Structure 1
Amino acid sequence: MEPSEVTGARLGDDRRTLLLDAPVPSGAHACVRKLKAVLTDPMADLVRVQITFTSPSGDRASGCTKESTATAKVRLPMPLGDRDVIVDNYTRFTADGAKPPGLRLCGKLGCTPPATGCTAASYDQALMAVDAPEHTYRDSEKCDGKWLVLDFSWRTGPACGDSTDPACSSRLGDRWFFRAKNTGWAPIVRTSAGGCRDVQRAEPAFPASLCASLAPLSTSLHPSFPPPSASPTRRTRL
């Protein structure tokens, strides 16, 4: 079997030994055997690694019902350099911006998320920050690079997604206000009210130029979709 995730990665002093921390079953007796990390492809622009082990944890009688962290080690054929590391096909680490000997865990937006700004990529980050539903449509944005108002909506009904089924002929809307931080857009407050009152109660410095003209959002279902040419912002939970 394989660990469900990898929680940390670092390099040895030789810059060739890769140490990977992963959660594994634990209990009163030996719960992990043959823990190992291996390269799955020749080392090129990326380093691809797989971690495996065996465990009786599927048998409740084994007592392996808890979890602990174990470290698997693999020696690379050459120093890691500026290559990223991908573990078990989906968890990615990078040396860029990391404090040696550790490697930095990349997030949902990759190893180099878009800088905060008035761009579509940064609006996608804002949607992630408020856990927007899947298949969300951005309806409007007001942005000056430091502050952001984002209105968005999503279809409702059974199995909507990208479907054109009549059961999905309505949408719900939401409005969030954000402030720019080094890590991206940080949520301030959520409201359906118009104007500046709610956001300036939470953050008095929010500029009136971005909120004074905002109309209230309807709390009822909206009867229309975005025009067919509009592309949804696809949100996939990982």
Structure 2
Amino acid sequence: MSLEWFDRVCSEMQDSLESICEDYDELGHMRIDRAAKHPKLEFFVEYEGDEREDFCTLFFDPHNEEFYMEEFDFTAGDTYRQILPDIEEILDAVHESFHNFMDTEVEEVDEDEFFEDHIDESEETYDEDGEVDEAYVDGGAYDVVVDVEWTTPEVLAYSYLDEVEVTYKFGVLKETGDGILHRVNRIFTEDDGTIEDETNFIFSKEEAGAIIELIEGNMDVMEGFDPS
């Protein structure tokens, strides 16, 4: 298993896309997730206020050393892989996905008006460390801010050398009483930078037991991360 091809493509993608497309140069961004079982490149458009929306995800199969995109066939009801064998096809696929995404943006939303309607800054609450008790939850084109009472600190779930770490913390939504798991995947780069990918998973108390049983009942069929 080798990530050499993945690393080579990562080093060329951003500059190559910016050089072939002026629109992408202005709006497009790339995020690298090297720690996943199948490492991936996520491409997104970033709006004001750090809001972003993904338009393309490239996966890398380290065993076959090939990039692929997942597509859903609505007729057959199946997901299939589109294999991208070389850098030219990879660039074309991302470039096409970017323009398809931009072309389907039918309505331009005034972001200031959106956040005035959904977020009352005067209602922000702070924890004992002076940080805002809130979390961003996926709400479609934009994220929604919800108030959270965090009941645990960040717990280190996984780390590999000084390259990757994954942490979790648990909280309760103040409005609904549902639970929330906040996951942070951090990748430490050679230039002492940090790439972070944050996700939130919300579930009710009634769901918690079933989730725990599903995880415990399937631990033996899961594979651990093999860095070799």
Class of the TM-score when normalised by the shorter of the 2 chains: under 0.3
Q: Higher relative contact order at CA 8 Å, sep ≥6: structure 1 or structure 2?
A: 1
TM-score normalised by L of structure 1? 0.20
Larger Rg: 1
